Amino acid sequence: NAGVTQTPKFRILKIGQSMTLQCAQDMNHNYMYWYRQDPGMGLKLIYYSVGAGITDKGEVPNGYNVSRSTTEDFPLRLELAAPSQTSVYFCASSPSREADTQYFGPGTRLTVL
Amino acid sequence: RKEVEQDPGPFNVPEGATVAFNCTYSNSASQSFFWYRQDCRKEPKLLMSVYSSGNEDGRFTAQLNRASQYISLLIRDSKLSDSATYLCVVNGNSGNTPLVFGKGTRLSVIA
């Protein structure tokens, strides 16, 4: 049982490039989340999903897109990367939305130069 | 008032000390409360849930005061391995923020 996995661990992008951050979970959780964490700051929710085929915006969705075609996978797409998107990105999953514990992946450290 | 507020610290304490952190939240309708722990350059991990009657897990005790809208975490007999950032987490007050994470309180336990 691997839990929540994320790839890549590190990435450096040039301004204007695009990339997809991968997230997968093997716990059969319905709910999945993407957060970003800037240095010294709390986690900010980017997008979340309550099940395959359903996604919704979080607090800071601009510049990102997501899809959820399966229960297991929840990729995050960055189009036209900007320096403001330099951050650590965490994916998480939970059995339900509010009351349950969220389980986090190890994170992706992204730098946009 | 911010949704979840914590003293950022750092709290520097000697091994064996008792240390307490507080956290205040703004949404009086919040129902779910947690403390997470985040080690440097690692992902957050659940430390413990916080129940209305208060709860204890070994050296850790969590308390909830709904009237004053604050949550506390008490760590007894601090160990070097307790050094980390402790995140206060509360379920959000709007449909697009399932959980709201505080910025965390940094603890350093010194030998």
pLDDT, tens digit (0-9, with 9 covering 90-100), for B35-84: 999 999 999 999 999 988 899 999 999 999 999 999 999 999 999 999 99
pLDDT of residue B96: 46
Q: How does DSSP classify residue B69?
A: T
pLDDT tens track for B6-44: 999 999 999 999 999 999 999 888 888 999 999 999 999
Contact call for B101 and A42, based on CB within 8 A: yes
* pLDDT at position A98: 62
Please classify residue B26 by burial: count the beta carbons closer than 10 Å to its beta carbon, then call 0-12 exposed, 13-18 middle and 19+ buried: middle
Q: What is the pLDDT of residues A53-68, one digit of tens each?
A: 999 998 899 999 999 9
Is B39 in contact with B16 (CB distance < 8 Å)? no
What is the CA angle B95-A89-A52, rounded to 5? 50
- Could you tell me the pLDDT band of residue A39, with boundaries at 50, 70 and 90? confident
Chain B residue whose CA is closest to A87: B41
Is 50 exceeded by the pLDDT of residue B90?
yes
Chain B nearest-CA distance from A18, in A, is 24
Is the CB of A96 inside 8 Å of chain B's CB atoms?
A: no
Contacts of A6 by beta carbon, 8 Å cutoff, 6+ apart? A21, A22, A23, A89, A90, A91, A105, A106, A107, A108
Partners of A105 on chain B (C-beta within 8 Å) are: 43
Question: The tokens of B71 are what?
Answer: 């949550």
Cβ–Cβ below 8 Å for B103 and A41: yes
| Cβ of residue A43 closer than 8 Å to a chain B Cβ | yes
d(CA B39, CA B31): 26
